[in-house]
Amino acid sequence: MIKLIIDKKTVEVEKGTTILQAAKNIGIHIPTLCYMNLGDLNIENKPGGCRVCVVEVDGRRNLAPACATDCAEGMVVHTHSIRVLNARKTVVQLILSDHPFDCLICAKSGNCELQDLAHKLGIREIPYQGEQSTYREDTSPAIIRDVDKCIMCRRCEVMCNEVQTVGVLSAINRGFQSVVAPAFEMNLDHSVCTYCGQCVNVCPTGALTEVDHTNQLINDLADPGKTVIVQTAPAVRAALGEEFGMEPGTLVTGKMAAALRELGFDYVFDTDFAADLTIMEEGTELLDRLSKHLNGDTNVHLPILTSCCPAWVKFFEHQFPEMKDIPSTARSPQQMFGAIAKTYFADKINVDRKKLVVVSIMPCVAKKYECSRDEFKVDGNPDVDYSISTRELANLIKQANIDFLGLEDADFDNPMGESTGASVIFGTTGGVIEAAVRTAYEVHTQKELPKVDFEELRGMEGIRSATIDFDGLPISIGIAHGLGNARKLLEDIKAGKSQYHAIEIMACPGGCIGGGGQPYIHGDTSILKARQKAIYQEDAQKTIRKSHENKYVQKLYEEFLGKPMSEKAHHLLHTHYFDRKKEVFID
Amino acid sequence: MSSIKVKLKEKDIAKIQEICKSFDNKPGDLINVLHKVQGEFGYLPAEVQEVVAENLNVSLAKIYGVVTFYSFFTMIPKGKHPVSICTGTACYVRGAEKVLEEFKKELGIKVGESTPDGKFSLTCLRCVGACGLAPVVQVGEKTYGRIAPDDVKNILAEYEDN
Ligand code: SF4
Ligand code: SF4
Ligand code: SF4
Ligand code: FES
């Protein structure tokens, strides 16, 4: 152990602890900018580049960056001497001298760490006049890169390269010219980007943001010629409240439904309904492949991989196209919802699909891209017209002057608002496969599950595995969240080393609760755990907790689809994948 | 979406693979590999970086980052007649910058670029040890001394026909 003094307080820490951490241990929060530590996920970025965290160490000539300086025995540290405060100010002023003054109209305003610092440090003038770098804006179906606002903290690089192992973003050029960009400075939509949005989540400024669809939504809601319906993903209800000052982990399902109705949607539905439908299709596919496999059919491949995460889908299309026949062909809940809404439901209410606007509220930015994919359109008309993130919804509720906290709980509409506990847990890592197991077990064994909860599938570990006893038949299950972890499982499959029958993969750390469209957590990963807890809590509260027991899903099959994997179901609820290895183009 | 224009010949790809292999395909040797590859091809076009990326298992963005960070890597092929202007101290003091400006104007390109017809490329050199002749310009193997901006047109004219 090492003893040192920070701001006149004695503190004892282990060798290798940084000054930043040691200070935090005794409640002193040194401001940082480039530094990022997502504790529970084991993700750290400390390039020591921005110098916002400088402190004075007795006996040292230069100020030291607290995030990148280890404590030493007997050190005497001052975190707010005049010298430190002046230096910090200067550092921020220098950053601002090459930063556009867009705060009032910036998408990150109110959530920007640079703005926050300028505010906290009381910056009132910028005495340095420098050349302002200008780069073109890069707009893709899901993410906007406005590199003028990049401060080169390189957090996004860590996310994209080390955590997600996608490798789209890298620092390029040197000195004043340096920015973070895709290879050859091509646009994101020409790159291998998965649109997971994890870079957006960690970018401290407005350099990376999601494509905003709220204005389009406002216009559609105001159009009397259109019927506008909405679906909300499971993870949204576990996080939306944070935007209104509620404790992380507060469920706001009822308030959310009420707010959506106030906003003027004609029908307020639930993606959870479609998640139950997904389980019917995916679970049936799993059992089908499994029984063929057990009967010695060498044409079927196992493990079956889940396919409800569009970032994950784009990832394997680019990186492992040779394995594109292993993932389930089931569409994601968002897309199943859209396909049913624009056929079954449109017929029911007698509205032409072109006059029916299907909006989704998602914790995700990749969903914006997913609904724009051509295979999810009929004659150019998309099944899901566009997708709004949790953050955008919160903003819209504020714009509309709705007193969110004061709203009475409301229910979803029917027929596409009914859901089970199984569908709620789609929002967290491990949830999709648990939901699938609940249904597949009962269908396969024809017996009722003795216990609905599968604790062994839950948790936050990046890669997990468990064996579930299907009444004598051991089913081996793998779970990965974060694309870097997914890559490890895929490499194993490729090498023929995988023993799993089924694997669930989610692109975002934590699953959709940690999605790229969720309220910013600013490095506090305990928020993800709180959201996860909320999800399991909602599941436990439900009377019906298995997808195949959803009455409205059963009715949908009776009235319209026939049975799971029927021809109609195939047409509307399944999809196919593309080899995108060669689609990245240079020029 | 269109696909990558694979301009590389099989033997070029094999050459790059061989170079990567000579460094055991180690990502840590990226800079050395790029050096060697550039030695072979004269420059590092996107397609070449692609092959290196695949072999070393490094992302294309990272490689592009390295190529744009170090000034000795270039993505542009040298012109048939590479023009180099010494900007060492002696040459600089005697007006190399004005000469450089004149070349830029005449050729319509910046330092590190080539003319669209591939005829000329423009680079700056550190002292070439011919300070007595400052400012010094080299075109290919040929060295020109005591150059003034007015001479630039005449020098380029020498290469008009080939
Ligand atoms: S969205 Fe995901 S894959 Fe795309 S650049 Fe960001 S982190 Fe990388
Ligand atoms: S884009 Fe954002 S996260 Fe990436 S380096 Fe720039 S400021 Fe940092
Ligand atoms: S894990 Fe969820 S939030 Fe993240 S990209 Fe996939 S679907 Fe979207
Ligand atoms: S936060 Fe420590 S150097 Fe940027």
| Domain boundary pick from A155, A186, A210 | A210
Instruction: Indicate whether A196 and A152 sit together in one domain.
Output: yes
| CATH code, A150 | 3.30.70.20
> Is the minimum CB–CB distance between A171 and chain B shorter than 8 Å?
yes
B162 part of a folded domain: no
Instruction: Indicate whether B86 and B18 sit together in one domain.
Output: no
Q: What is the CA radius of gyration of chain A?
A: 25
Range of the domain at B92: 81-157
A268 part of a folded domain: no
A327 part of a folded domain: yes
C-alpha A51 chain-centroid distance: 30
Distance from the B144 Cα atom to the nearest Cα atom in chain A, whole angstroms: 32
B74 part of a folded domain: no
Instruction: Indicate whether B124 and B144 sit together in one domain.
Output: yes
pLDDT greater than 80 at residue B6: no
Q: Which residue of A has its CA nearest to B44?
A: A184
How many folded domains does chain B comprise?
Answer: 2
| Domain boundary pick from B69, B89, B119 | B69
| CATH code, A53 | 3.10.20.740
A231 part of a folded domain: no
Nearest to B59 among A170, A172, A178 (CB): A170
* C-alpha A411 to ligand 3 mean position (Å): 25
Contact predicate A411/A267, CB 8 Å: no
For A166-191, letters b (16+ CB in 10 Å) and e give: bbbbbbbeeeeebbbbbbbbbebbbb
Contact predicate A538/A195, CB 8 Å: no
| Domain boundary pick from B69, B93, B116 | B69
Instruction: Indicate whether A428 and A515 sit together in one domain.
Output: yes
Q: What is the helix (H) or strand (E) element at residue A290, kind and residue range? A: helix A271-294
8-state DSSP, A247: P
Euclidean distance between CA atoms B43 and B72, whole angstroms = 10
Instruction: Give chain B positions within 8 Å (CB) of A185.
Output: 64
Range of the domain at A21: 2-80
Verify whether the Cβ–Cβ distance B46 to A161 is below 8 Å.
Answer: no
Distance from the B85 Cα atom to the nearest Cα atom in chain A, whole angstroms: 22
B5 part of a folded domain: no
| Domain boundary pick from B69, B95, B112 | B69
pLDDT of residue A136: 81
**What dihedral angle (degrees, nearest 10) is formed by the CA atoms of A536, A538, A542, A548?**
-60
pLDDT of residue A66: 96
Contact predicate A75/A82, CB 8 Å: no
Over chain A (587 residues), what is each successive 10-residue block's mean pLDDT?
Answer: 95 95 95 90 84 96 95 96 96 92 93 96 87 81 94 94 94 84 91 97 96 97 97 98 97 98 98 97 94 88 94 96 94 98 97 97 98 97 98 97 97 95 96 96 93 95 95 94 96 93 97 98 94 97 95 97 96 96 61
Residue scoring higher pLDDT (B123 or A477): A477
Q: Is the dihedral of CA B8, A578, A272, A443 positive or negative?
A: negative
pLDDT greater than 70 at residue B5: no
| Stretch 4-23 of chain B: residues touching chain A, C-beta under 8 Å | 4-5
Band (B162; pLDDT cuts 50, 70, 90): low
* pTM of the model as a whole: 0.88
Instruction: Indicate whether B16 and B63 sit together in one domain.
Output: yes
Contact predicate A334/A205, CB 8 Å: no
A494 part of a folded domain: yes
pLDDT of residue A260: 98
B76 part of a folded domain: no
A390 part of a folded domain: no
Q: Alpha helix locations (H) across A42-112?
A: 82-97
> Is the minimum CB–CB distance between B46 and chain A shorter than 8 Å?
yes
pLDDT of residue B4: 38
Residue B106 amino acid letter: E
Cis upstream peptide for A100 (omega within 30°): no
A410 part of a folded domain: no
Euclidean distance between CA atoms A567 and A313, whole angstroms = 23
Instruction: Indicate whether B58 and B99 sit together in one domain.
Output: no
Q: Is the dihedral of CA A243, A245, A251, A255 positive or negative?
A: negative
A514 part of a folded domain: yes
Angle at A362 between CA A136 and CA A574, to 5 degrees: 100
Count Cβ atoms below 10 Å from residue A89 Cβ, excluding itself: 16
| pLDDT per residue as tens digits for the range B45-63 | 888 999 999 999 999 999 9
Instruction: Indicate whether A519 and A424 sit together in one domain.
Output: yes
Instruction: Indicate whether B153 and B89 sit together in one domain.
Output: yes
pLDDT of residue A177: 78
pLDDT greater than 90 at residue B41: no
Euclidean distance between CA atoms B97 and A309, whole angstroms = 56
B141 part of a folded domain: yes
Instruction: Indicate whether B101 and B39 sit together in one domain.
Output: no
Measured in Å, how far apart are chain A's first and last C-alpha atoms?
55
Verify whether the Cβ–Cβ distance A183 to B59 is below 8 Å.
Answer: yes
In the beta sheet, which residues pair with residue A293? none
Instruction: Indicate whether B57 and B103 sit together in one domain.
Output: no
Euclidean distance between CA atoms A361 and B69, whole angstroms = 41
| Stretch 101-120 of chain B: residues touching chain A, C-beta under 8 Å | none
pLDDT of residue B160: 79
Q: Which residue of B has its CA nearest to A183?
A: B61
Instruction: Indicate whether B117 and B50 sit together in one domain.
Output: no
> Is the minimum CB–CB distance between B72 and chain A shorter than 8 Å?
no
Which of A237, A337, A364 has the most ligand 3 atoms within 8 A of CB, as the residue to mutate?
A: A364
Instruction: Indicate whether B112 and B148 sit together in one domain.
Output: yes
Cis upstream peptide for A303 (omega within 30°): yes
Instruction: Indicate whether B86 and B152 sit together in one domain.
Output: yes
Active site residue A375: yes
Count Cβ atoms below 10 Å from residue A453 Cβ, excluding itself: 15
User: Measured from the CA of A198, which atom of ligand 1 is nearest?
Assistant: 7
pLDDT of residue A585: 54
B4 part of a folded domain: no
Euclidean distance between CA atoms A8 and A14, whole angstroms = 19
| CATH code, B49 | 1.10.10
pLDDT of residue B3: 34
pLDDT greater than 50 at residue B2: no
Verify whether the Cβ–Cβ distance A171 to B64 is below 8 Å.
Answer: no
How many folded domains does chain A comprise?
Answer: 3
Euclidean distance between CA atoms A571 and A445, whole angstroms = 28
| Domain boundary pick from A210, A226, A258 | A210
Euclidean distance between CA atoms A56 and A64, whole angstroms = 6
Contacts of A544 (CB under 8 A, 6+ apart): A420, A421, A550
> Is the minimum CB–CB distance between B61 and chain A shorter than 8 Å?
yes
